[in-house]
Amino acid sequence: MYLTYANGTDHHITDEMLWRKDGSSFPVEYTSMPIKKNGQVVGAVVTFMDITERKRAEEDLKESEEALREQAIQLRTIFQKSPIGILHIGKDGIVLDCNTRHAELMGSTREKIIGMNLRKEIRNDEVRAAVFGALDGVQSEFEGEYTSVSGGKTVVVRSVFSPTEPGTSPTEVINTTEDITERKKAAEEAEHAAILIHEKEAQLSTAINSMVGAIFMVDKDLNFQVSNEQFCELYDFPKELAKKGMPFINFLRTRAKRGDYGRGDSEELLAKRLEMYQDPTQAKQVVEYEDKVPGNRTVEVFRAPTEDGGFVFAINDITARKRAENELKIAKETAVEATKAKSEFLANMSHEIRTPMNAIMGMAHLAMKTDLTAKQYDYLKKVDISAKSLLGIINDILDFSKIEAGKLDVESVDFQLEDTFDNISTLVGIKTQEKGPGAAF
């Protein structure tokens, strides 16, 4: 306003501060115009405008511009430092920008790539089709082996071409490219490993299904891991419930319900079985036991712990063996009874024969003490010897019975060889004389 009075000219001030009665200030914009009379400035017209809102808007705009600058810097940093290659392609197919990673993937430089006309210079038909599709507004992608035009490097890539204005043709395109060589290799190795695992599982399945006995395995969480057909057939258990990952408790519950674990509430019987498998002490033990299965068959079960805390079961049907053992036991008992009866018979017969035999020997002994001719004495002597020999045979028969009973005692006694020969002569002498030749010792 001072200048208006001093110079007599209009003045416009865009940034001034005024104060209110309460002491607060506010920004204003004002214009002062002189009032003249007879060529002299006699006053001024001043107009004021409160520009608080405009100032606030200007500050907000300044902050927004600063934020945009920071965001642009961040985006540029992301663009340049991204582990994925990025291209900015113009509507005409010319590369507008390229980050360092893309240049590295192509074995080239940013300077060589920026300015390339992809419509003309791309030789790979699939990549060319993807570029043209994206320029026409359709997102496209390529995955495979690619040889760089600018650098000549060959890599396995996955490249996505995203139009900035989908559905519009032509449009600018943002292309992202990543090297998937290692990923592809890992995927191929994983696929190969999966094939090998499948083959091994098939071989294992064939092997365990070819076994004579049943086998199955559960993990530490009591879920089936392996089972063969013989197991399902032996226990009359559905195959689909014995597949890998199925709960072992289903098998235990099935057996409890049909009474395999005895009489009583099936859930209580099941709980007792689960306690046994969950007992840390028993879980570490190798156990062998016999079990009954449907069809009144008997099996022998071998249970052993696995390294992961589970169990492996090997089961053999021993019904035929048990039947043979029972038959053998019955045959043995029958043989023992027969031997006992024979021994009793021999004992009785020996007693019955001994009685008259003793009488014969006694009478012969008494008769030999009477007056006899030499010939009569010889006859009686032979009768006595023959009776004693027969008694010896009876004793030998009893010895056989003792042998069978395991009660025979062998004695060592002195004897006269001459007497033995004399007894033999008495026993066989008459028969040899009837045949013609004699016997002499």
pTM of structure? 0.43
Q: Are 87 and 102 in contact (CB under 8 A)?
A: yes
Q: Which residue has the tokens 């197991």?
A: 231
Largest CA distance in the chain: 217
Nearest to 175 by CA among 95, 119, 108, 78: 95
User: pLDDT tens digit string along 92-102?
Assistant: 999 999 998 88
How far are the Cα atoms of 124, 154, 189 from residue 144, in angstroms, in the given order?
A: 11, 10, 17
Report the pLDDT value the prediction gives residue 282, as an integer from 0 to 100: 75
Lowest mean pLDDT among 72-81, 129-138, 166-175, 402-411: 402-411
Q: Kindly state the average pLDDT of the residues 123-131.
A: 89
What would the two tokens of residue 2 be? 């001072």
What would the two tokens of residue 322 be? 């048990």
Report the pLDDT value the prediction gives residue 426, as an integer from 0 to 100: 61
Residue 246 has pLDDT above 90, yes or no: yes
Instruction: Name the pLDDT band for 434 (thresholds 50, 70, 90).
Output: low
Report the pLDDT value the prediction gives residue 314, as an integer from 0 to 100: 92
Report the pLDDT value the prediction gives residue 407, as an integer from 0 to 100: 61
User: pLDDT tens digit string along 9-63?
Assistant: 887 888 888 888 888 888 888 888 888 888 787 788 888 888 888 888 888 888 8
Q: Does residue 263 or residue 404 have the better pLDDT? A: 263
Q: Does residue 397 or residue 140 have the better pLDDT? A: 140
Q: Which residue has the tokens 């063969």?
A: 228
Map residue 380 onto helix, strand or coil.
helix
The strand order across the sheet containing 140-147 reads 95-98, 85-89, 173-179, 154-163, 140-147
Q: Are 378 and 368 in contact (CB under 8 A)?
A: no
Residue 207 has pLDDT above 90, yes or no: no
Residue 353 has pLDDT above 80, yes or no: no
What would the two tokens of residue 268 be? 């209580």
Instruction: Name the pLDDT band for 424 (thresholds 50, 70, 90).
Output: low
Q: Are 174 and 87 in contact (CB under 8 A)?
A: yes
Report the pLDDT value the prediction gives residue 427, as an integer from 0 to 100: 56
Burial 8-23 (b: 16+ CB within 10 A, else e): eeebeeeeeeeeeeee
CB within 8 Å of 58: residues ≥ 6 apart: none
Q: What is the mean pLDDT of the chain?
A: 84
Residue 440 has pLDDT above 60, yes or no: no
Q: Are 372 and 380 in contact (CB under 8 A)?
A: yes
Report the pLDDT value the prediction gives residue 430, as an integer from 0 to 100: 55
